[in-house]
Structure 1
Amino acid sequence: MRISAVKAADRFLPDKLSRRLGPWLLRIDRLFDGSSEHAAAQRVSLIAFTIRIVSAAIALVSQVIFARWMGQFEYGIFVLVWVTVVILGNLSCLGFQTSVIRFVPEYLERGELDHLRGILLTSKLFAVGLTTCVAIVGAVGVYYFRNAIESYYVAPFIIGFICLPMIALGDTLDGTARSRSWALVALTPTYIIRPILALLVMTIAHASGFAPTAMTAIVSAIIATYMTTLMQLFVVNRRFMAVVSPGSRTIRFGEWFAVSLPIFLVEGFFFLLTNADVLMVGRFLEPDKVATYFATVKLLALVHFVYFSVKAGAAQRYSELMHTHDHAQLAQFARDTARWTFWPSLAMAIILLILGKPLLLLFGAQFTDGYPLLFVLVVGVVARASVGPAESLLNMAGKQKICASVYALTLIVNICLSILLIPVYGLPGAAFATAFSMVFEAVTLALTVYSRLNIAMFVFAGRARTGAAKEEV
């Protein structure tokens, strides 16, 4: 049984201090004990936030060790290959990993269990089947065009494609678990278990005498990914056995695909946007520069995870509020999520700027060249945090197409600036292109949410108006 924070303060703290802390402690009690959907969303976000903190620490330690063992050049090769593989794995789900979050609560509420069984099976089979085809085509393509690719990238890319099906399945299982607010089941495998296993396998390989090359690191990551995803598949399937009993399935692939495809465009453009800078640096600069830039943006994960944590808890709640048609409550919840995202992000950004140089030094002395880039990149990250998970709100409101257009435009801005600036200014050019794109994205998303849903989704906006939306939610 959880101990009440208010009662604990009354018992162990002086009366004056207990009274001062009372309102804050009452919020904590409501957060953990409240049965409302609002409290549930906060709990999920808090769990996701905690997992992201632990994940960021694990990722930092593992990447530092990888960089120290491999050296800047080999580490840069590993980074570019792995980022590309993760992007392809995520995109190959074609939005099913997010649309499942929308359909599962809807089918449960309506009691349409045959539809529920259908989408649970279809989403997994679709992810694995499509990514297997993508992996085969990708490997054949790299081999066929090997003479046009730097030789040190050919073998790592071909081997890396082996991981695509499990990355896609893991993303789908993440969304499936989030549809039931199972934050630990959704996030722990990818953000905690997988990096620990990758480091463990790499350590065993290193101790066994294998050369600490990019290829060794990629194989280690592949083994860790397969182990983690298969374990998550077992856990998610067992948890759903308590939700829905075995029975007939209704497959409505056309309907699901029609909803998933616009979401794929939104999240695909967003995922490309968050990783395009690394790919563009890899296109124009040598692997050692890729390594420095990646180490720098890796530190930004300490700020980014706030946004992803809030998004993990908010998406399902957005979907539920859409079905209640309570615009006032939806508008206020959207503003709350912007506030939950911005202030912790700002605090983490300040801490990161203070500790950035010694953290980069952990990777190696040459990695400190990336420290000035942090001051540029942080501006974009904080600006993006000021509007919270606005794209999730648009997706759940059925505004996938306009949201996709926003991200497509932002991605074009990012790529064009990268092409113009990176060849001339190097890494500072990449940082400026990324930061400007984030600011552009934040402004455009905020304006889109306001114009389409009549919601001022901005951290400094006043209390949401209670009027009806301009368009029906």
Structure 2
Amino acid sequence: MANAERLAKPVAGKPAAITKVLARGGSISFLLNSTGMGLALIMQIVLARLLGAAGYGTYAFVTTVVTFLVFPAKLGFDTSIVRLVAAMKAKDEWSLIKGLLKRANQLGFAVSLSVTATGFVILGLRYSEMTDTQLATYAVGFATIPLLTLATLRQSALQALKDVLFAQMPEKIVRPLLTMGLLLMTVFLLNWEADAGLAMLCFAAAVAVSYLIGAVVLKKRIKEQTAAVDTQYATRYWIRLSLSLMINGGMYLILGQLSVLLMGVMHSETESGLFSAAVRLAALVSFAITAINMTAAPLLSESYAKGNHGQLQQVCTTSGRAGFSFAAVVFIAFVIAGRPLLGLFGTEFTAAYPALLLLSAGQLFGAYCGQTGTMATMTGYHRVLTRVLVIATALNVMLSVLLIPLLGMTGAAAASCCAAVTWNAIMAVAIKRKYGITTPVWTFGGGSQRKQQEQDSPPQ
């Protein structure tokens, strides 16, 4: 109740200015994500064509495993950096920003090395069970974990500083271009045999280059502000907050990637690869809201810190409606042309069309519910989000175990869709009750929502 009362207090701000910031930052992010998604899709098609269904399945499965292993190495600092650095920057606390980034990188690098070492130990124990290609793919994939961890932390820092361009360009643009370029060069110019191991090696080289680019940019962005200040630390608080946020990140990761892993374990890596293509395509439905969140997340954190209810509602409404509009267009496109799009990966991939529609429906509903997860994370409501995500994850696991043996990819997609609908619906209601903020992009009470926003916002 105290939070609601504090948020209801009008605070000076300009709605038009907020819209302009969202439009500018969101446009840049949207363009980068559009280009990045296009490049990622092209890269997956190239990989599928060159490696074949089996080779692509191995590559996709190992990539998913690496994604899961990078997650604990970040310790949740990727999320806490966005939230904390945005608030620290508003208060000109550069000594704390300097300490936070330094400590996050130290801890992230140490943990990522431990995770990598554990991965190699397990690889050694299973050496006799793997083909040479599988062994090489896993080994190179594990070796990328430290750089992927540090790259994610750097991306979060630039996002918090509202440098949307360089927060995303190394990973969205440089990495897929280099991966494809190196793979095509080695196959067609050097006449090397295309397999999952070679593809992962090209990916690792691209990760190294993109990391260096991002690290240099971040250093230049904060050098002037941090060079002359002492380093301050609040390590215990940072770790406590980050670990709490990491739980939510883990739930997101499981909800997004669990079905791919279960398909590989319960069926085959080949079918996991087919399903992975549907998962990657379905991600296009929500990528607009993801792109906008590069700007919206820091704004939500700042608005909450200032107690500006009207600005919070405006950020949620403006960003949510833009994201949902795009999501609806993409969903319709998949309904009409989903099979031909999957066919670009190879004729075998068209079998994933029903799964694509179910996955896309779940993404569309999430886009309609708007800034549920981001709003909770940026306003300190993450513990409730954690409980809701745990419920959704348990539902996903239960349904996956029941439906995958019966329906294969379609069962996995149905489980993911049900989980997405569940957690987004619950959080939309919870945020409304907690803060009085409406996150669904259109409701029957839209007129009263606009009226409340006008009352909370100062006159122009």
TM-score under structure 1 length normalisation: 0.87
Aligned residues: 436
Which whole-Å deviations, capped at 9, do the CAs of 1:439-458 have from their partners, x for residues lacking one? 11221221221232222211
Determine the structure 2 residue equivalent to 1:30.
Answer: none
| 2:283 aligned partner | 301
For the Cα contact (< 8 Å) 2:338–2:356, is it kept in 1?
yes
Aligned to 2:241: 259
CA separation in 2, counterparts of 1:377 and 1:110?
42
Letter in 1 for 2:302: E
- Gaps (5+ residues) in structure 1? 1-33
Aligned to 1:191: 172
**Correspondences of 1:174-185 after superposition (within 5 Å):** 174-185=155-166
| Offset, 1:90 | 3.3
Q: Quick one: distance in 1 between partners of 2:64 and 2:242? A: 23
Correspondent of 1:166 among 135, 147, 154: 147
1:233 aligned residue: 215
CA–CA distance in structure 2, aligned partners of residues 450 and 150 of structure 1: 53
Alignment of 1:101-180 (within 5 A): 101-146=82-127, 153-180=134-161
* SS across alignment from 2:144: helix
* 2:137–2:200 CA contact under 8 A, matched in 1: yes
Separation (CA, whole Å) in 2 of partners of 1:197 and 1:362? 21
Higher relative contact order (CA 8 A, sep 6+): 2
Q: Which residue of 2 aligns with 1:224?
A: 206
1: CA distance between counterparts of 2:18 and 2:39? 31
CA contact (8 A) 2:366 2:421 kept: yes
Contact 1:310 1:389 in 2 (8 A): no
Is residue 283–residue 360 contact of structure 2 (8 Å, CA) maintained in 1?
no
Query: 2 CA distance for matches of 1:58 and 1:240?
Result: 30
Q: Distance in 1 between matches of 2:213 and 2:321?
A: 35
Residue 399 (str. 1) matches residue 381 (str. 2) = yes
Quickly say closer, same or farther: Cα 1:149–1:216, change in 2 above 3 A.
closer
3-state secondary structure, aligned to 1:386: helix
Task: Report the Cα distance in structure 2 between the residues aligned to 1:94 and 1:447, rounded to whole angstroms.
Answer: 29
CA 1:146 to 1:416, structure 2 compared with 1: closer, same or farther past 3 Å?
farther
- Picking from 284, 305, 309, the partner of 1:327 is 309
Q: Give the superposition deviation at 1:131.
A: 0.8
Matching residue's letter, 1:126: L
Mapped partners of 1:334, 1:210: distance in 2:
50
Rounded to whole Å, the distance in 2 between the matches of 1:307 and 1:148 is 42
C-alpha displacement of 1:91: 3.6
How far the C-alpha of 1:263 sits from its partner, in A, is 1.1
CA distance in 2: counterparts of 1:169 and 1:360, whole angstroms: 33
Measure, in 1, the Cα distance between the counterparts of 2:426 and 2:110.
Answer: 35
Residue 18 of structure 2 contacts residue 315 of structure 2 at CA under 8 Å; is this kept in 1?
Answer: no
Pick aligned residue for 2:416 from 434, 440, 454: 434
Three-state SS of the structure 2 residue aligned to 1:459 is coil
1:322 partner SS = helix
Deviation at 1:154, TM superposition (A): 4.2
Find the aligned partners of 2:423 and 2:132 in 1 and give their Cα distance. 36
The partner residue of 2:184 within 196, 200, 203 is 203
Deviation at 1:104, TM superposition (A): 1.7
Matched, 1:356 2:350: no
Counterpart of 1:184, as a letter, is: L
Query: Residue in 2 aligned with 1:49?
Result: 30
- Residue 388 (structure 1) aligns with: 370
| Preserved CA contact (<8 Å) 1:76 1:288 | yes
CA RMSD of aligned residues (A): 2.1
Displacement of 1:149 in angstroms is 7.2
Measured after TM superposition, the shift of residue 111 of structure 1 is 2.8
Q: Is 2:286–2:323's contact at 8 Å kept on the other side of the alignment?
A: no
What letter corresponds to residue 141 of structure 2 in structure 1? G
Pick which of 151-160 and 89-98 moved more. Answer: 151-160
Q: 1:459 aligns with which of 423, 441, 453?
A: 441
For 1:10, the equivalent position in structure 2 comes to none
Q: Deviations over 1:183-215 (max 9, x none)?
A: 111011111110111111111221212221111
* Distance in structure 1 (CA, Å) of the matches to 2:281 and 2:398: 25
The alignment status of 1:65 with 2:36, answered yes or no, reads no
Query: What letter is aligned with 1:88?
Result: L
CA distance in 1, matches of 2:260, 2:229: 46
Offset from partner CA, 1:393-447 (integer Å, 9 cap, x none): 1111111111112112211111111111111211111111111111112212212
Aligned to 2:194: 212
Decide whether aligned partners of structure 1 residues 75 and 353 sit closer, same or farther in structure 2, where only a CA change above 3 A counts.
Answer: same
Q: Deviations over 1:134-167 (max 9, x none)?
A: 1111221232245677886444223311000111
Contact 1:76-1:291 at 8 Å conserved across structures: yes
CA distance in 1, matches of 2:251, 2:263: 18
Contact conserved, 1:143 with 1:154, CA < 8 A, in 2? no
1:282 corresponding residue in structure 2: 264
Question: Is residue 2:70 matched to residue 1:89?
Answer: yes
**Quick one: distance in 2 between partners of 1:146 and 1:177?**
40
What CA distance in whole angstroms lies between the structure 2 residues aligned with 1:123 and 1:83?
A: 24
Contact 1:339 1:459 in 2 (8 A): yes
State whether residues 134 and 196 of structure 2, in contact with CA within 8 Å, keep that contact through their aligned partners in structure 1.
no
SS in 2 for 1:347: helix
- Return the alpha-carbon distance in structure 1 between the equivalents of residues 137 and 328 of structure 2: 38
The whole-number CA distance in structure 2 between the counterparts of 1:376 and 1:118 is 44
Deviation sequence 1:335-374 (CA, Å, 0-9, x none): 3322122111111111222222222111111111112222
Q: Which residue identity is paired with 1:427?
A: M
CA distance in 2, matches of 1:245, 1:466: 45
Report what 1:27 is aligned to. Answer: none
1:51 aligned partner, one-letter code? L
- CA distance 1:166–1:107, change in 2 (3 Å): same
1:38/1:317 contact within 8 Å kept: no
